[in-house]
Amino acid sequence: MTQCTLRLPTPPSVNAMYRNLSGVGRVKTTKYKDWAQEAGWMLNSQRPHKFPGPVSISYVFGPKTHSRAWDLSNHLKAVEDLLVTHCIISDDNNTIITGFSVAQSPDVEGLQLTIKEAA
């Protein structure tokens, strides 16, 4: 079974990815664009395997710098969109991402992501 483990900076929350501009509609925020650029460079430098079919993804987040509670699942969308944009996975729908797990670890800085070919 093929798998690869990648490191990325902590992605923005889905709540911080877009904003509404009067007369324009929904646009990407500067925070999201900056993260996507940095994460894209980091992703490409790791030369990840490309997965043509179904996968499962394990997300392990490092601790946040603030002490407030945070919704881990709100940070998945940015990562999945990045993987599609860079053709690591073909889509982020349920026929491609067939399972995932999310955890936190003090031993991780940013995000550790493991993508496995689904059986």
Q: What is the pLDDT of residues 5-30, one digit of tens each?
A: 999 999 999 999 999 989 989 999 99
pLDDT at 72: 86
Q: What is the pLDDT of residues 42-97, one digit of tens each?
A: 999 999 999 999 999 999 999 876 667 778 889 999 999 999 999 999 999 999 99
Order of strands, sheet of 55-61, starting from the edge strand that comes earlier in the sequence: 3-8, 111-117, 55-61, 97-104
Domain boundaries, the chain: 3-117
pLDDT at 67: 62
Nearest Cα neighbor of 40 from 6, 13, 64 is 6
Q: Which are the contacts of 33, defined by CB distance < 8 A and separation ≥ 6?
A: none
Which CATH number is associated with domain 3-117?
3.30.1330.70
Overall average pLDDT of the 111-116 stretch: 97
pLDDT at 119: 78
